[in-house]
Amino acid sequence: MGDMDRSVLTSQGFRPNRRQFLIGAAGVLGAGALMSSCGGSSSLSFGARTVDDGPTRQLKGLISAYEAASGNTVVYNATESNAFQNNLSQYLQGTPDDCFQWMAGYRMQFFAEQGLLTDISDVWDEIGDQFNDSYKIASTGLDGKQYFVPQSWYPWGLHFRKSMLAELGIDPDGIYNWDDFMGMLDGMKSKGLIGFAAGDKGGWEAMGTFDILNARINGYQYHVDLMAGREQWTDARTREVFTYWEQLVPYMNDNVLDLEWDGAMQLLLQRKAGAMLMGSWFGGNFLEQSQEDYDDLWIIPFPEINPEHARDTIDAPIDGFCVAANGENSDGGKDLIKFAGSKEGMQAMLDTGEPMTSANKNQDTSSYDAFQKQQLAVMEEAKYITQFLDRDTRPDFAGPVVGPAIQQWFRDPSSVDGILESLQEQWDALPPL
């Protein structure tokens, strides 16, 4: 604690003026207010949007490395991710932590537009050369300034067990295009397996399948334009996506709408299903089950459909950090975020031993395991990165409109035209931002 903090304490204790008396009268609140008013240049707060063991260890590793490097003290506040996300708007308007964990792309831009995030372009001037351009684009607000520093990412790809494919006599490297893929699914089905495990109870899981099919069939630009409302949901090209999707339905488990994503994962874990399209984050779950299961897990890019676009796009949501505009110590927040994005900061997180794929291009990847290296390979094949449907389009459209529409499609795939018309109508009816 610095001198400033001590002086606050003394004035509180010995010469209470009227305002401070009011605070004191508020009892418990007073204690909280006192603690949090310890601003100053030497103390700042960090808001984590996770309470999970692994990520918490990772972030605490970062924070203690920062404290050691800078001499500042950091108060670590953690909130469970759903609660944090649902309450973010209030959090940022009220009394936010100086630096907090968030996501890149549209979800960051949305809050930047409202003036709730601090412009950190000057931080990017210093550490920008450590990131690839695609990361900088994902960190940039609509006004062209940077508001975000990437921490890590995970690719969405086709996951399977190496041992199962070997038993079926399929070579994963041989699955390049749609025909290879359908051949693989047929092979699995003939063995009585579920080919393509899927769950969409949460409403968001299947969005990944839509993203990748659309990008493979119509290309990156079309997908981005559709997400931004510059293309129509009723377009024949959007319709085409569902034609391909429908070909996958016979290979899926028949309770898609009853399973959340982890239900689908269990099918893969229990060797009841051959493959699944999912973000690689769930590797941690396999690792928790056993090292053997984790070593068996593999990922390849979703197969090519339209040779024009090959396999050039991937959904790879980027997680990272922002600095709140209403924080008490924005300069401290900036200092922390700069450290977090640097190679040393990333290394501190990797040193905790928790699996993470660093966004920093200078990172030493020698400590990555085989599955992580394969994730890097999958990522490197892609030229364009998308963030996932619910991060790429308006939040009031993705969750409440697209999610239920896809669920409805699963109930009755023949109703696709009506569903697409309704999607377009609902997009058109959205209020301007």
Max Cα distance, the chain (Å): 82
Q: Sketch the per residue contact string, 85 through 124, with other proteins: x for CB under 8 A, - otherwise.
A: -xx--xx-xxxxx---------------------------
19 binds other proteins (CB under 8 A): yes
Q: Closest distance between other proteins and the C-beta of residue 416, in Å?
A: 30
Is 102 strand, coil or helix? Answer: strand
With a CB cutoff of 8 Å and minimum separation 6, the contacts of 329 are: 39, 40, 41, 43, 44, 45, 98
d(CA 258, CA 200): 7
83 binds other proteins (CB under 8 A): yes
d(CA 149, CA 139): 6
When the beta carbons of 255 and 365 are compared against other proteins, the nearer one is 255
When the beta carbons of 78 and 175 are compared against other proteins, the nearer one is 78
Is 289 strand, coil or helix? Answer: helix
When the beta carbons of 44 and 185 are compared against other proteins, the nearer one is 44
d(CA 266, CA 285): 10
Cβ(102)–Cβ(321) below 8 Å: yes
Binder of other proteins out of 77, 232, 234, 363 (CB under 8 A): 77
Q: Compute CA distances 398 → 101, 137, 401, 404, 423, whole Å.
A: 21, 21, 6, 9, 10
- Stretch of 28-36, 238-246, 305-313, 352-360 contacting other proteins, by CB under 8 A: 28-36
DSSP state of 358: B
DSSP state of 342: S
Residue type, 82: N
Structure tokens that stand for 391 in this block: 């991060």
Binder of other proteins out of 2, 4, 9, 36 (CB under 8 A): 36
With a CB cutoff of 8 Å and minimum separation 6, the contacts of 312 are: 215, 219, 220, 382, 383, 384
Binder of other proteins out of 1, 10, 13, 22 (CB under 8 A): 22
Q: Closest distance between other proteins and the C-beta of residue 87, in Å?
A: 5
d(CA 50, CA 103): 13
When the beta carbons of 303 and 327 are compared against other proteins, the nearer one is 327
Binder of other proteins out of 3, 14, 15, 28 (CB under 8 A): 28
d(CA 174, CA 190): 19
73 binds other proteins (CB under 8 A): no
- Stretch of 20-28, 126-134, 229-237, 371-379 contacting other proteins, by CB under 8 A: 20-28
Structure tokens that stand for 148 in this block: 């975000």
Binder of other proteins out of 1, 26, 142, 430 (CB under 8 A): 26
Q: 41-61 burial, b for 16+ CB within 10 Å, e for fewer?
A: ebbbbbbbbbeeebbbebbbb
- Stretch of 30-38, 141-149, 167-175, 409-417 contacting other proteins, by CB under 8 A: 30-38
When the beta carbons of 25 and 370 are compared against other proteins, the nearer one is 25
d(CA 319, CA 58): 13
432 binds other proteins (CB under 8 A): no
**Number of residues counted as binding other proteins (CB under 8 A):** 43
Residues 267-326 that bind other proteins (CB under 8 A): 269-270, 281-282, 284-285, 288-289
Burial class (CB in 10 A: 0-12, 13-18, 19+), 340: buried
Q: Closest distance between other proteins and the C-beta of residue 184, in Å?
A: 25
**How many Cα atoms within 13 Å fall on the side-chain side of residue 426?**
17
Q: Closest distance between other proteins and the C-beta of residue 218, in Å?
A: 29
Q: Closest distance between other proteins and the C-beta of residue 318, in Å?
A: 15
When the beta carbons of 127 and 269 are compared against other proteins, the nearer one is 269
DSSP state of 401: I
When the beta carbons of 247 and 255 are compared against other proteins, the nearer one is 255
- Stretch of 19-27, 127-135, 140-148, 161-169 contacting other proteins, by CB under 8 A: 19-27
Residues 224-263 that bind other proteins (CB under 8 A): 261-262
Q: Closest distance between other proteins and the C-beta of residue 355, in Å?
A: 13
130 binds other proteins (CB under 8 A): no
Structure tokens that stand for 6 in this block: 């001590």
Given the rule CB under 8 A, which residues bind other proteins? 19, 22-23, 26-29, 32-33, 36-37, 49-52, 55, 77-83, 86-87, 90-91, 93-97, 261-262, 266, 269-270, 281-282, 284-285, 288-289
